[in-house]
């Protein structure tokens, strides 16, 4: 498996990250009536991709 979607060059990991983000956003909207802050989205992206530094993970 190449790690790429069969129909395009988008890495599957990115597609999975987007699906998790969509679920996370929907959950916040349904449960709390809000959407994630830009900083939360950025941290989520960094943690998911493994690029967050130790300070961000704390």
pLDDT band at 5 (very low <50, low <70, confident <90, very high): very low
Identify the CA nearest to 22 among candidates 36, 11, 38, 8. 36
Q: What is the reported pTM? A: 0.49
The per-residue pLDDT for 56 is: 47
Mean local confidence (pLDDT), 46-56: 65
Strand partners, 4: 11
Share above pLDDT 70 across residues of the chain, in percent, rounded to a whole number: 69
What residue spans define the domains of the chain?
Answer: 11-17+34-52
pLDDT band at 44 (very low <50, low <70, confident <90, very high): confident
């Amino acid at each position: 498996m190449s790690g790429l979607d069969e129909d395009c060059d988008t890495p599957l990991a990115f597609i999975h990250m987007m699906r998790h983000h969509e679920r996370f956003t929907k959950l916040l909207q349904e449960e709390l009536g809000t959407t994630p802050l830009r900083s939360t989205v950025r941290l989520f992206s960094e943690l998911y991709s493994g690029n967050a530094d130790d300070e961000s993970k704390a």
